[in-house]
Amino acid sequence: KIDSTLTNERCLRNAIWDSSSLRYPWRTGPFQTQALFTRDVSWKHRTAYKFRITHRPTVGLIRVVIEDENGTVADTGELFDFRFAGGKIGLLSFSQEHVIWSNLEYSCAERINHALEFDGIDDSVDLPKASSLGLDQSFTFDAWIRLPQNCCEGSLPVVCSREGLLCLFIKDSILQGVMSGKIVTSSERLMGSEWNHVGLRFEATEAVLSLLLNGTVVSTTTNVQTYQGRERMYLARDNKLQFFKGHVEELRFWSVALSDGDIARYHVTTSLSGAQTRERLRAHFDMNAGSGPTLYDQSRNDLNGLLYGGGLGLWLCQTETLLDTT
């Protein structure tokens, strides 16, 4: 990665040539070049190599795979750097003669939108521990949900801790949240067969818990104690073995209390602006694996969840695109 303030062309040229990360001034200055991946492999003369580059700007993922006729020469694995939000794509052959580039292709992959469909009987997801998800200080978490038609009586847990001290749930079609004994409640009834954006936000310094609905704060309560639980979190179930019935899409956790403006923007987009906010994205479950027992975290933290339920038939292919992914 090159992010240089060097004005001397020869110094910049030498910095790019070197395979290690270099600072200027030496040892104390900012990095001019940074090695994101290193493997001690030499290029071979008269050899064809295939480069495959994957870049997902919304989650900062970068991966480069290099192959020759015998198989994989190098694979960076999944690297994460949010600084590259877009730009030009091209190839550079640096101080190497007789290099021929051929069969160059690039594409923007189509997004296949999925959601999880929960039956309200035994379907759920085991998420990582609350501390891993950043819920032991200021936090925000949000998701899109859709209730069934003519729903619903009783309690439908959305995201809850194992011991029940922290929970976002729906009771008799009313969105509610609880944390450390304090409750926030919406005055609006959720309609069946409609998608709604829901969430909780906690500001630790002010001890304020806020309930989020469709990009706005609809209820707050004060003097809330910081959540001290270290238990695992659940999606679509609670500690009383009550289960959510309906669809869930785009579950995200931040270790920061998002501002009202950020909540209004981020509830309709996965393209998160602002380096500090992206850095504090602890987990992002976009529900787009489409099959299998694992709910993959799309952040850099690899905080995957595990699906449980009858036959694991939870995956649902969506026709709607809820969020802007540009």
What would the pLDDT profile of 242-277 be if each residue is shown by its tens digit? 999 999 998 999 999 999 988 888 776 654 444 445
Using 50 as the pLDDT threshold, list the residues of the chain that sit under it: 271-276, 311, 319, 324-326
DSSP calls for 26-86: TTTS-EEE--S--------TT---EEEEEEETTTTEEEEEEEETTEEEEE---EE-TT---
Residues paired with residue 23 on neighbouring β-strands, in sequence order: 31
Q: Which two tokens stand for residue 13?
A: 């040229």
| pLDDT given for residue 58 in this prediction | 62
Q: Which two tokens stand for residue 54?
A: 């994957």
| pLDDT given for residue 310 in this prediction | 66
| pLDDT given for residue 4 in this prediction | 75
Residue whose structure tokens are 């959510």: 244
Q: How many residues comprise the chain?
A: 326
Global pTM reads 0.68
CB-based contacts of 163-167 (< 8 A; 24+ apart in sequence): 163/229, 163/231, 163/239, 164/238, 164/239, 164/240, 165/227, 165/229, 166/130, 166/135, 166/227, 166/229, 166/233, 167/238
Pairing label, strands 294-295, 305-308? antiparallel
Secondary structure in 3-state letters for 110-136: CCCCEEEEEECCCCEEEEEECCCCCCC
The total of other beta-carbon atoms located within 10 Å of residue 84's CB is: 11
Q: Which two tokens stand for residue 160?
A: 């809850």
Question: DSSP assignment, residue 2?
Answer: B
Q: How far is C-alpha 75 from the geometric centre of its chain's CA atoms?
A: 23
| pLDDT given for residue 59 in this prediction | 60
Burial class (CB in 10 A: 0-12, 13-18, 19+), 189: exposed
